[in-house]
Amino acid sequence: MTENLEFRIGNWELGIGNWELGIGNWELGIVFLVFLVFLVSLVSLLFLPVGAIAHFLGRYYHNIIG
C-alpha cells in the first residue's frame, strides 16, 4: 500500500514535469504562431504593390487595346 502510494507520487511529479514541458511547448507554439502571422503579413505586404502595379498596367493596356 505504501509503495503504491510512493509510486503514484513519483508519477504525479513526472506528470507535473510533463505539464511544465507542455507549457513550454505551448509558449513555443504561440511564438511560432506570431512569427508565422508576421511572415505571412510581410509577404502579403511585399506582393501588394506588385499586384497593384499589375492591376493598373492591365487596365492601361486594356484601354490601349480595347
66 C-beta neighbours (distance < 10 Å), count: 6
Considering the entire predicted model, what is its pTM? 0.41
pLDDT of residue 46: 84
Q: Kindly state the percentage of the chain with pLDDT values over 90.
A: 5
Residue 60 has pLDDT above 80, yes or no: yes
Looking at residues 5-27, what average pLDDT do you find? 66
What's the CA gap between 15 and 49, in Å, rounded?
51
What's the CA gap between 20 and 14, in Å, rounded?
10
pLDDT of residue 4: 65
Exposure b/e, 48-59, CB count within 10 A at least 16 = b: eeeeeeeeeeee
Looking at residues 31-39, what average pLDDT do you find? 88
Residue 12 has pLDDT above 60, yes or no: yes
